[in-house]
Structure 1
Amino acid sequence: MSTVGTEGSEVSGYTPGPLDRDAPLYVAGHRGLVGSAIWRQLEDSGFSDLIGRSSSELDLKDRDAVFAFFEESKPRTVVLAAAKVGGILANSTYPVDFLSDNLRIQVNVLDAALAQNVERMLFLGSSCIYPKLAPQPIKEEYLLTGHLEPTNDAYAIAKIAGILQIQSVRKQYGLPWISAMPTNLYGPGDNFSPQGSHVLPALIRRYDEARRDGVDTVTNWGSGSPRREFLHVDDMAAACIHLLEHYDGPEQVNVGTGEDATIKEIAEIVASAVGFEGETEWDTSKPDGTPQKLLDVNKLRDAGWTPRIDLEAGIGSTVEWYREHIETLRT
C-alpha cells in the first residue's frame, strides 16, 4: 500500500487495499452499538492488535487525555464510532449536550490522530445530517442544501462538522481519511432505555413489556406514517471494514439498504416478533419527525458492498438478544 500524501497537498499516491491485520487499530466507542459490532467484525477478520478504551478509562472530551492516549498507543488506523446518541425525546430535551459533547469528542480524536499522522481514519456520522425535506432517496450531494430536522439539528450540526474536518484534513494534509453516514441502525448492544432509545429498540421494549404484563393496547408516538430505513448493525460493521479497504474519497458515503418501511409497518413486525396480540394506537399529538429518510446507496454499491441481513430476521434476532440481556441493559 502506498504512503499517504504530504502536508498542503490533496491525497495522492494512495490506493485502498487490505489493512494490515497486525497493525494497531483503535476503535473509539468500542462498547457502543456500532463500535462493539465493528470490534466483533475486526476480530472475526483476523485483526490482532485492536485498541479500545471505555469512557471510564478515557474521557474523549478531555483533550489532554486523548492526546496522551494517541501518543502512547500510536494507532495506524482509527474508526471514530464514539458519540452521544439518542432518539427524538433525548435530542429535543438536551440539544446542548448533543452539540457540545459530540463536537469535543470529534475534534479531540481527529486532532490527536492528525498529530500522530494516523494513516487511515473512518469517521461515522448519521443520515440526520441531510435536510429534513431532501428529495428521496437521499444522495450524498444533498448535504447542506436545506433546513435540518429541528428535533435533532444540534446532533446533525456536530456530525456535519466532523465530515468537514475529514475533508479539510484530506485537503490540507493529504491523509486518506473518509466518512460514512449510516441509516437507522439496530441490533445487539442497542440502547433500549425509555428515555434514550431510538425508535426500533423503543418499540421492541414497549411491545415486549406489554406482552409480558398482559396489556391489551400499546400507544406509539406520532401517526406511524413516516418512512424509515433500518440496517442491522452487523451489516454496518461489515460495510465499515469494506470501505476502509476499498474506498477513498472526500465525499461521505451513505450506508444503508436502499429500502424503507413505514413506522406502522415496523411496529407490526416488532409486535409479531415479540408475540404481542393486542391493539396498537397512535398518539398524533406527538411529533413524527422527518416524513421520509431513505438513503441513496449507489456509491456504496459501486464500492462493492450490499447488506445481507433481512429486516424481519434482524428484528427477530434483536428481540432474542434483548430478552437474553434484559437484566443488564443500559438504562
Structure 2
Amino acid sequence: TLSLFYCMVGVVLVTGGSGLVGNGIREALGKHETGEEYDWVFLSSSDCDLRDKQAAVELFERMQPKFVIHCAASVGGLFKNMKNKLTMYQDNMDINRNVLAACHHMKVQKLVSVLTTCIFPDSIEYPFESSQLHDGAPHPSNEGYAYAKRMLEVESRLYREQFGHNFVCAVPSNIYGKYDNFHLEDGHVVPCLIYQAYLAKKSGQTLKVLGSGAPLRQFVYSIDVGLLLIWMLFNYNDEEPLILTSNEEISIGDLAQLIVNAWGGNIEIQTFILPTAFNLKYNAVRFQQS
C-alpha cells in the first residue's frame, strides 16, 4: 500500500536527509514552489546503511523514487580526514556506488549528486572551472574522501554515457548553516570556529586558529544550497558538474573575527602555523530565483 501511494504522487528521495545539506533542502522547500507536488522523503543513516548494496536496493524498491538528490556521505573535518583516509575512501565509495546502482536499478528519472570542494587539484591556477576537476591530485590531507567524491562524478558520467541516465553533479563551496557538526575534530571551519570562540569566551582564554589566518575561502549557506539543488533537479541536465557558490571571499582570520564579534568581542585571536589546506576560488554560476 505504501509503495502504491508513493507511485501515485511521485517521490523525491533525499539521501543524507538529516545532515547539513539535507536539512537545507528541507527548509528550502518552504521557500520554493517547484517540487511541492511531489512527496519528499528524507533518509538518514538510521533508515538504511547505504554501504550495504542489498539494503540500498531494497530501500529504493520500497520507496519507488522518481527523483533522487544524493547528499549522503561519511564526512568530517580536516583532522578526521587526515586520520582515516582509507576508511573515508572505502565508506564513501560504497555509499556512492550503491546509490547509483539503486538509481539505475529503479530507472529514476533524475539524480543530482552532491560533491565537495576538496575534489579539486591542489595546485592549479585560480579561479578555475569544474572542467579542471581531474587536472591533478587533490590535497593529501583529505585524499581518501576527495578521490571517492571524484569517482562519484566519474561514475555518474559513465552511467550517462552507457545508459543515457540523467545523472548530474553539484559542487558546493564550503557550506555552513543550521544542523552543522560542531565537533572540534570532525567539524568544518565555521562550526569549529563558532564552538572554539564559545569555549574561549567561557574560559577567558584565546581563540587559537590553525594556520596564518590569511587563506581565503568562499562560503555558501545551507538553505541556499538547498534552493539551488531543487533548481538543479528540475532545470539542470548538463554533464559538467555545476559549482554552487558566491563570488565573495573571506580570509580565515577575518572569519574568526566576525565570529568573535558575534559573541560580543573581548576574545583574543591567536594563529599558529601548521600545514593547511589549499586556497580555492571558484568561478561561480549565479542564479536568479524567479
TM-score by length of 2: 0.92
Q: Does 1:152 align with 2:142?
A: yes
Q: Does 1:263 align with 2:255?
A: no
Provide the C-alpha distance between the structure 2 equivalents of 1:91 and 1:214, rounded to a whole number of angstroms. Answer: 30
Shift of 1:164: 0.8
Q: Does 1:230 align with 2:219?
A: yes
Tell me the residue number matched to 2:5.
none
Bigger Cα displacement from structure 2, 233-242 vs 36-45: 36-45
Provide the C-alpha distance between the structure 2 equivalents of 1:265 and 1:144, rounded to a whole number of angstroms. Answer: 31
SS at match of 2:14: strand
Q: Is the 8 A contact 1:127 1:183 kept in 2?
A: yes
Tell me the residue number matched to 1:27.
14
Provide the C-alpha distance between the structure 1 equivalents of 2:202 and 2:94, rounded to a whole number of angstroms. Answer: 41
Shift of 1:227: 0.9
Which sections of structure 2, spanning at least 5 residues, go unmatched? 1-7
Shift of 1:36: 1.2
List 4+ stretches of structure 1 deviating above 4 A. none
The structure 1 residue matched to 2:208, chosen from 210, 219, 224, is 219
Q: State the superposition RMSD in angstroms.
A: 1.7
Provide the C-alpha distance between the structure 1 equivalents of 2:225 and 2:139, rounded to a whole number of angstroms. Answer: 23
Kindly tell me: are residues 49 and 270 of structure 1, through their superposed partners in 2, closer, same or farther at Cα, counting changes over 3 Å? Answer: same
Amino acid at match of 1:38: I
SS at match of 1:225: coil
Provide the C-alpha distance between the structure 1 equivalents of 2:29 and 2:156, rounded to a whole number of angstroms. Answer: 23
Shift of 1:57: 2.2
Provide the C-alpha distance between the structure 2 equivalents of 1:133 and 1:276, rounded to a whole number of angstroms. Answer: 36
Correspondences of 1:106-255 after superposition (within 5 Å): 106-215=96-205, 217-255=206-244
The structure 2 residue matched to 1:85, chosen from 67, 70, 75, is 75
Tell me the residue number matched to 1:295.
282
Bigger Cα displacement from structure 2, 61-70 vs 49-58: 49-58
Tell me the residue number matched to 2:272.
283
Provide the C-alpha distance between the structure 2 equivalents of 1:174 and 1:278, rounded to a whole number of angstroms. Answer: 56
Output one character per residue of 1:94-131: Cα deviation in whole Å (capped at 9) or x when no partner: 11121011000000011011001001100000121111
Provide the C-alpha distance between the structure 2 equivalents of 1:189 and 1:237, rounded to a whole number of angstroms. Answer: 13
Number of residue pairs aligned between Structure 1 and Structure 2:
280
Shift of 1:22: 4.1
Which sections of structure 1, spanning at least 5 residues, go unmatched? 1-20, 307-331
Tell me the residue number matched to 2:46.
56
TM-score by length of 1: 0.81
SS at match of 1:197: coil
Amino acid at match of 2:22: G
Kindly tell me: are residues 265 and 150 of structure 1, through their superposed partners in 2, closer, same or farther at Cα, counting changes over 3 Å? Answer: same
